[in-house]
Structure 1
Amino acid sequence: MEKRRADLIADEIEELIFGGTFADGDRLDEHALADRFGVSRTPIREALQKLTLSGLVTQIPHRGAFVHQPGPVELMEMFEVMAELEAAAGRLAALRISDAALDDLRRANAECLAAVTAQDTDAYYIKNERFHQIIYAQSGNSFLRGEALRLHRRLRPFRRQQLRLRGRLAQSMAEHEGIVAALESGDAPGTADLLRAHVAVQGEKFHHLMSSLRPAAE
C-alpha cells in the first residue's frame, strides 16, 4: 500500500532530525516546513502528530512543536521495557499461535528476506513491523498487545535507525529465523529469550546507536 503524504513527510522530517538539520529543542515551524515540502499545513500537522506519538517531537500548547531527543538513559530504559514486552508476547504466542498466523508470520519473514537481499532498510522495517505485530496479536492478550504497540510506535525511529548499522539487517534476519522456529515448536521460554535478545539494545550495539544519533543531538 502506498504511503500517505503525511507519512512520507514524517519520515523525511525524521531523517532531517537524525541527520542534524534539526537539533534537540529546535522548533519545527509549520509554515517553513510547508514551504520546504511544497504542501499545505494540513499534512505537516499530521506528520508532526505522527512524530509526537513516537516521542521524537513534543507539542507545547500555544508554542508549537519541538524536537525531542531522548538521552541515553531514557532510551536504554525504553528499549529494556520493549524487550520485556516482546518476550512476554512471544512466550504467550508460542502457546497460542494459530496455524494460519504461523503462515502469515512465515510470509512476513520471507518479505523481510527479500528486503535484506535488496539491501532496502526501509522496506525491511515495514515488513519487520508486520512480523512483530503478528506476534503481539497471537499473544492472545489485548492489554499486552496495546502496550507493545504503543511503545513500538514510540521507539519506531530508533529501531529504524539501528537497522542501518553495518551488518544489522542480516543479523536481524537470522534472529527472525530462530524466533519462527521456536514458535513453530511451541517453545515458550525459547521464544521469549530470542525476542528479548532481538529487541534489547546492549553494549556495543547501543554505543553504535548513540553514535549514529549524535549529529542530531549536537
Structure 2
Amino acid sequence: MPKTRGVTHSAHVLVTLENDIFSGILPPGASLDEEALAQRFNVSRTPVREAMLQLIQSGLVEKKPRQGAIVARTDVGDMIRLFEVMSELEGVCAKYAARRMTEAERSQLSDTHARSDAALSAGRDDDYYKLSRNFHLMIIDGTHNRDLIDITNRLGIKLVPYRRFQLSYPGRSDSNLKDHAAILQAILDRDPDLAAELSRKHTNLQGDVLAEYIATNSGKAAEFAGSHSHAG
C-alpha cells in the first residue's frame, strides 16, 4: 500500500494498522513485531515505534510481558459506552463554547469549518480528518474550563482511531460536515441548548455507525483472517 502524498511515515503506518485492526486483518491477539512492520512498510523502526505508541495510547494495542505488543480485544459494548460518555462531555463543551467563545475564537472555528469543506471537496481525506478533529478541539478549548478540557481531551485520545475510521463509511464525511455546519451555526448564534443537543447527537451517531460497521463486517473479517492463516 503506497504512502499517501503529504502523510508522514508514522501516520501512514498508524492509519494502515488501525484499518487492519478494525477490518479484522489483524485480529485480537495478533503479534506486532517492530522489525517485521518496518520491513512491511519499508521504513526504519522509528516511525513504527511512534505509531505503536499511539496505538497503545488509544487502547487498540497492548504490551504484555514476554509477548510484546499485541492487538487488544475490542469490545463493541465498551466502545459504544465510550461514545456515550463522550457525547455528553462534548454536549456540555458545545453549550459552554456557545456562551463563552470570544469573537476571535468563533471566527477561527468558522475558518476551520470552511477549510474542512474545501479539503473534502478536493478529496484530501487526511487533511479533512485533521481539520475535523481540530473543529472538535477548538470547541472544547472554547469552554475556557481547564478541568472540562482535560477530562474531555483524555477520553478523546481513546476515540481518535474510531472517529478516523468511521469517516471511511460511505457518506459519513459529507454527513459529518453537515453536522459540523449546524453545530457551528448554533455556536455563532449563541444558542447553548441547541449547540449541546446537536453535538450530543453528532457524537452518538459516530459510535452507532462504527458499531454497525464492525457488526456487519465481523464475519467477512474472520473469513479473511482464516483464509490467510490457511494460505500461510
- The alignment's TM-score, normalised by the length of structure 1, stands at 0.90
Q: Which has the larger radius of gyration?
A: 2
Displacement of 1:76 after TM fit?
Answer: 0.6
1:168-198 Cα offsets, whole Å, 9 max, x none, are 2221111111111111111111111010011
The residue aligned with 1:151 is 155
State the match for 2:193 in structure 1. 189
Q: C-alpha separation between the residues in 2 aligned to 1:124 and 1:203?
A: 19
- CA displacement at 1:147 relative to structure 2: 1.9
2:165 matched residue in structure 1: 161
User: Relative to structure 1, is the Cα distance of residues 153 and 213 closer, same or farther in structure 2, using a 3 angstrom cutoff?
Assistant: farther
SS of alignment partner, residue 69 of structure 2: strand
* Separation in 1, partners of 2:168, 2:140: 24
Structure 2 gaps, min length 5: 1-5, 226-232
Amino acid at match of 1:106: S
2:108 maps to amino acid: D
Whether the 8 Å CA contact 2:162–2:210 is kept in 1: the answer is no
Structure-2 residue corresponding to 1:107: 111
Q: Over the residues paired in the alignment, what is the CA RMSD in angstroms?
A: 2.1
- Aligned residue number for residue 51 of structure 1: 55
Picking from 103, 113, 130, the partner of 2:134 is 130
Call closer, same or farther: CA 1:211–1:176 in 2, change over 3 Å: same
* Aligned residue in 2 for 1:171: 175
Closer/same/farther in 2, CA of residues 124 and 211 from structure 1, 3 Å limit: farther
Using structure 2 for the length normalisation, give the TM-score: 0.85
Deviations 1:37-74 (A, max 9, x none): 22332322221001111111112234211112421211
Aligned partners of 1:178 and 1:194 also within 8 Å? yes
CA distance, structure 1, for counterparts of residue 30 and residue 51 of structure 2: 16
Q: CA deviation at 1:5?
A: 2.8
The one-letter code matched in structure 2 to 1:190 is L
**Whole-Å separation in 2 of the counterparts to 1:76 and 1:5:** 30
- 2:74 maps to 70
Name the count of aligned residue pairs.
Answer: 217
Indicate the larger mover: 17-26 or 205-214.
205-214
SS at match of 1:18: helix
Q: Which amino acid aligns with 2:87?
A: A
Counterpart of 2:33? 29
Structure 1, unpaired ranges of 5+: none
Asked if 1:198 corresponds to 2:229, the answer is no
The answer as to whether partners of 1:83 and 1:195 remain within 8 angstroms in 2 is yes
Matched residue SS, 2:205: coil
Secondary structure class of the residue paired with 1:24: coil
Residue of 113, 118, 121 corresponding to 2:122: 118
Deviations 1:71-102 (A, max 9, x none): 12111101101101100111111111011111
Percent identical across equivalent pairs?
35
